[in-house]
């Protein structure tokens, strides 16, 4: 499965980044890069926890950055 990061700037100036394929992977940052880095980190943590809990099998992971 491929995962991608979507990001956009909020009205208050913060950046929001999320991985739509993984519920709950939603982060904020002062810059787009910061928000995307946090989202990637959180996505990897969620996937690792799913594998450890037996919810997912280990698989190839491809994360690409996609502008909204």
Is 70 exceeded by the pLDDT of residue 67? no
CB atoms within 10 A of CB 67: 8
| Structural contact between residues 8 and 16, judged by C-beta atoms closer than 8 angstroms | yes
| pTM, two decimal places | 0.79
The DSSP string of 8-68 is EE-TTS-EEEE-TTSTT-EEEESSHHHHHHHHHHHHHHHHHHHHHTTSS-----EEEEEE-
Domains along the sequence of the chain with CATH: 2-67 (3.30.160.250)
For 40-58, the pLDDT digits (tens) are 999 999 988 988 888 877 6
């Amino acid at each position: 499965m491929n995962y991608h990061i979507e990001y956009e700037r909020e009205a208050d100036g913060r950046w929001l980044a999320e991985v739509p394929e993984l519920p709950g992977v939603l982060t904020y940052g002062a810059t787009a890069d910061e928000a995307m880095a946090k989202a990637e980190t959180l996505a990897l943590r969620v996937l690792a926890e799913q594998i450890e809990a037996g919810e997912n099998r280990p698989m190839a992971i491809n994360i690409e950055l996609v502008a909204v």
